[in-house]
Structure 1
Amino acid sequence: MTEIQSRREFSLNVRIWDITTRKRKNRPFRLRWIVGGREHGLSFATKPLADSRRSELWRAMQRGEAFHVETGLPESEFRAAEESEREEEPPVSWFAFCRDYVAARWPAVAAKTREGMADSLAAVTLALLKEGAAKDIVARDLRRAARWSVVPAHQSEPVPEKLKAAYKALASSTRPVADIENDPAVLRAVEYRLAFRLDGKPSAGETYRRRRRTVNTALDFAAAGGIITKNPLRSLQGGRKGFFGEVDRRVLVNAVQGRQLLAAVSYVGSWHRARGRRLVAFYAVMYYAALRPAEAVGLRFADCELPEPAEDGEAALWGTLTLRETRPVSGKQWTDSGERHDKRGLKARAASSDRPVPIPPVLVAILRDHLRTFGTAKGGRLFANERGDLVGSSTYWRVWEEARALALPPERVDSPLAGRPYDLRHACITRWLNAGVPIAEVARRVGNSPEVIHRRYHGCVDGHEEAANAKITKALEDEGDTA
């Protein structure tokens, strides 16, 4: 049972004992009573005082009033004492709350989640500054200071020189958390900071959803701890109009574009250093097997079943990738190991579970060629950077940007088409759905729920309009036949 739950537990199971006398000079008269199996007692200097207190407790019990198990007080007295205590305590500032909240959740969450919490709370911090505070400090520095301040390890370290002014402003000039609940203008400012970037442009849909979800959870935590009475963000309609998490069709590559992009990757960098060539298979597992980048980083040779090439006249065989871990990239301050790559189980699955993904012969051939050329990296991993270390996000992003410039016509380079390596996964999932693979099977292979697949990709599946039109035409014809 948490401290918050303990403070809130009441019981009607109350027994009040008779007053007893002890051999003590100062307070010889003892009153004892039991609430929910827990004994409480008070000592008094005179018997009339003891009798008076016993009568008060007895009357509360006769009224059917519940008693607080921990303190033994009737509920009315406990509430009055709690209200008095709340009035006496200074309000909890947003700055102090964010530090305490992140410290409470830090041990149980992954590095990427820690980084996401810091980013979301820092974005909202700008809405919680008192009017006129930090007017000479740029917003970007305030956000950086807010992100730095919530890392538990930083609380015992000196503030970096470039963040000192911003940190001082945050520590002394953030509003109480209760202002989010009590001041509609503050709540509107919080919603604005969730939905817009520092330059005033709307934030990306997924960024908005992640930040809102994080702040929502934080305010639930504040409500559970009695800092606020309820989470006011839940009273606002969730989700921004026009955004439901659908994949933008403009990012999807067709088969020709996909092959051209993979070929262009091999031309990035010098042939000797093989900066691009060693990542062709890395992008291929996203394009042909719908892996997430963090899953590709953690892929090992032991997780791969790669059949031998087919003999003349034999059909090429499918292989299997058995995914067991992900290696998401985070800053060193967010991981327990102090390394940039966290080591986690599969997303949205138990830590010990795996996910087998069948792979087509074309990907089997690409992976076998990759192993012949580059072998395996440390720990049996398939992919490594030029130094033999884990492939970082900056590495595969830079190579991808150069490959797009080589593969796409100039007028398409600035378009959303395959703008991110992750868009290769979107293209693969869409291909499977258009091929008629059931949504449940697609969801199993890619590690999502069927609901997520349907919600995010329903606008990318071709042929639905024609099929629907054919059914309506037949229905109209049938009505005409019976008229």
Structure 2
Amino acid sequence: MAGPGPIDTDCYDVRVFAISRTVRKTVVTYRVRWQVGSRRHSRTFTNRALADSTRSMLMAASRRGEAFDVDGGLPQSQVARERGLTWWRWSMTYVELKWPSLAPISRRSLAEALVDITLHLSRSSQGRPPSADLRRAMFAWAYHLQNRQAGEAPADFGEALRWLERASPAMSVLEDPPTVRGLLDALSRRQDGRPAAPTTVSRKRAVLHNALELAVEHRRLDSNPLSKMSWKAPRVDETIDARSVLSPAQARALLAAVDAQGPRGRRLTAFFALMYYGALRPSEATAVTLDDLELPETGWGRLHLSRSDAEVSGTWSDSGRRSSRQLKHRAQGHVRLVPLAPPLVEHLRSHIKEFHVRPSERLFRGAYGGTINAATYTDVWQRARKAALSPAEQASPLARRPYDLRHTAVSTWLAAGVDSAQVAAWAGHSVAVLHRVYAHVVEGRSEVARARIENMLAE
């Protein structure tokens, strides 16, 4: 919806015409037409109610004797509203509101979503800087609160930021369903035009929805248009690929291949073992310290897991450094008790002895004492796959990512007949999520369940 032009003259001579209906193929549109002085104006809607609302607003303003803007065609009260807060200004306010309560990785995800939303909403105008420059200015300054509060924007961001200020539409455009639908469609595509991953679409839609909800709360919008729309994000298939799950023999072979890579590999053997035997996420395994472990001489041990160390640049944290946080989807201080199978206890005891891990220290560190990063452990894992798997297995989804070790652990527990609630507690899932993600394993246990029921009924 185009913004109104400058107010050159006011006019009280207003005529509002009947709504016209047009059908083109399967698309029905409704056109509101009115005249201010000698200038005719119109707006087209795909929803009859919106067309009626706009026409009623125009007629009510005319009856009140309100002056209309000749160029833009709107009553002065509406001109003031449309010329008020822009999406650009609100999006930066939104970052200020959300930043304090978000984890570093969530701050980065928020910025990524806002960049895409803002680029789509920005009107085309002369002097548009390259998209890469616009994205960099938003991601590194406008939507990064700490950098913005540190002072003026860097000089090389100036042109991009000035263009975004000029090109941003008024918040009122987000009350137009076709505009919002076009925005949602844009968020469902990647920059190259191909469909985006369903999880990415859902995440960006959630940011948009929350930004609009807060706009309503702060009286910048009358209502959230997303709550009235039937648009649906692509369905997210949360079920893991059963082909990615390892057999016990394959897992042991891969751990041996990691260990065979010398000191670099041996530093990570117990790291991967924690994911395979204990169903830890990589970010959780990275945060484990010696004090978190109960490691008996024989038998099962236990891990008191309370932290996660997601890999994200320290620039998104309050301290400026990468730091641990509470477990995913859990409150601060929540502790997850994870059983440590005897083979895992052996791996951990061996690791602690070889690398001289002391109390309170993280188990897994680089050669110079730094935090293990994803690039390092992913490279070691890929080398292990090449050494331990056949060419056909290497080309398959089998344990393609270290994260698949976690999937293997949960699948193994379920297949062994462990109660779903217990598995969920060990893995840090809800039971509902567990059943969605590991549906193939749960379904695979149906024959065992039926056999048990038959045996009980036969007694």
Name the TM-score class by shorter chain. 0.7 to 0.9
For the 8 Å contact 2:128–2:163, the answer to whether it is kept is no
- Aligned position for 2:110: 117
- Aligned position for 2:134: 142
1:171 aligns with one of 165, 174, 199: 165
CA distance in 2, matches of 1:162, 1:416: 44
- Aligned position for 2:95: 102
1:463 aligns with one of 444, 449, 458: 444
Deviation of 1:411 after TM superposition, in Å, equals 3.8
Deviations 1:336-362, CA, capped at 9 Å, x for gaps: 1101x2321222222122111111101
Deviation of 1:132 after TM superposition, in Å, equals 4.5
- Aligned position for 1:131: 124
For the 8 Å contact 1:326–1:343, the answer to whether it is kept is yes
CA distance in 1, matches of 2:77, 2:359: 58
For the 8 Å contact 1:377–1:388, the answer to whether it is kept is no
- Aligned position for 2:144: 151
CA distance in 2, matches of 1:296, 1:384: 11
Q: Which amino acid aligns with 1:383?
A: F
Deviations 1:192-224, CA, capped at 9 Å, x for gaps: 333222122222232222222222212211121
Deviation of 1:382 after TM superposition, in Å, equals 0.8
2:379 paired with 1:386: no
Report SS of the residue matched to 2:191. coil
2:200 paired with 1:207: yes
2:312 paired with 1:330: yes
2:341 paired with 1:360: yes
CA distance in 2, matches of 1:468, 1:361: 28
- Aligned position for 1:293: 282
Report SS of the residue matched to 2:367. coil
1:449 aligns with one of 417, 421, 430: 430
For the 8 Å contact 1:247–1:460, the answer to whether it is kept is no
Deviations 1:226-253, CA, capped at 9 Å, x for gaps: 2222222233457544424222223222
- Aligned position for 1:25: none
Q: Which amino acid aligns with 1:247?
A: I
For the 8 Å contact 1:325–1:345, the answer to whether it is kept is yes
Report SS of the residue matched to 2:84. coil
Deviation of 1:379 after TM superposition, in Å, equals 4.0
CA distance in 2, matches of 1:161, 1:410: 52
Q: Which amino acid aligns with 2:282?
A: P
Deviation of 1:276 after TM superposition, in Å, equals 1.9
For the 8 Å contact 2:291–2:360, the answer to whether it is kept is no
2:295 paired with 1:281: no
Structure 2 gap segments, 5+ residues each: 1-74
2:84 aligns with one of 76, 91, 109: 91
Structure 1 residues 342, 368: closer, same or farther in 2, change over 3 A? same
Deviation of 1:335 after TM superposition, in Å, equals 0.3
CA distance in 2, matches of 1:240, 1:417: 29
Deviation of 1:151 after TM superposition, in Å, equals 1.1
Structure 1 residues 249, 214: closer, same or farther in 2, change over 3 A? farther
Larger Rg belongs to: 1
Deviations 1:9-68, CA, capped at 9 Å, x for gaps: xxxxxxxxxxxxxxxxxxxxxxxxxxxxxxxxxxxxxxxxxxxxxxxxxxxxxxxxxxxx
CA distance in 2, matches of 1:161, 1:328: 32
2:250 paired with 1:257: yes
Q: Which amino acid aligns with 1:173?
A: A
Q: Which amino acid aligns with 2:80?
A: E
For the 8 Å contact 2:239–2:436, the answer to whether it is kept is yes
CA distance in 2, matches of 1:189, 1:431: 44
Report SS of the residue matched to 1:275. helix
TM-score (norm 2): 0.75
CA distance in 2, matches of 1:287, 1:193: 39
Report SS of the residue matched to 2:272. helix
Deviation of 1:449 after TM superposition, in Å, equals 1.0
CA distance in 1, matches of 2:277, 2:430: 20
CA distance in 2, matches of 1:133, 1:406: 56
Report SS of the residue matched to 1:349. coil
CA distance in 1, matches of 2:418, 2:449: 19
CA distance in 1, matches of 2:232, 2:383: 35
1:12-31 matches, cutoff 5 A: none
Deviations 1:418-444, CA, capped at 9 Å, x for gaps: 222222111111111111111111111
TM-score (norm 1): 0.71
Structure 1 residues 134, 211: closer, same or farther in 2, change over 3 A? farther
Structure 1 residues 373, 223: closer, same or farther in 2, change over 3 A? same
- Aligned position for 2:241: 248
CA distance in 1, matches of 2:186, 2:377: 30
Report SS of the residue matched to 2:304. strand
2:410 paired with 1:399: no
For the 8 Å contact 2:187–2:201, the answer to whether it is kept is yes
Structure 1 gap segments, 5+ residues each: 1-82, 310-316, 475-483
Sequence identity (%): 36
CA distance in 2, matches of 1:331, 1:318: 36
For the 8 Å contact 1:300–1:380, the answer to whether it is kept is yes
Report SS of the residue matched to 2:369. coil
Q: Which amino acid aligns with 2:161?
A: Y
Deviations 1:151-172, CA, capped at 9 Å, x for gaps: 1122244545665543333232
Deviations 1:297-354, CA, capped at 9 Å, x for gaps: 1101111011114xxxxxxx11000012112222222101101x23212222221221
- Aligned position for 1:187: 180
- Aligned position for 2:189: 196
CA distance in 2, matches of 1:457, 1:239: 24
2:296 paired with 1:302: no
Report SS of the residue matched to 2:264. coil
Q: Which amino acid aligns with 1:320?
A: R
Structure 1 residues 468, 366: closer, same or farther in 2, change over 3 A? closer
Structure 1 residues 298, 469: closer, same or farther in 2, change over 3 A? closer
For the 8 Å contact 1:209–1:239, the answer to whether it is kept is no
For the 8 Å contact 1:323–1:357, the answer to whether it is kept is yes
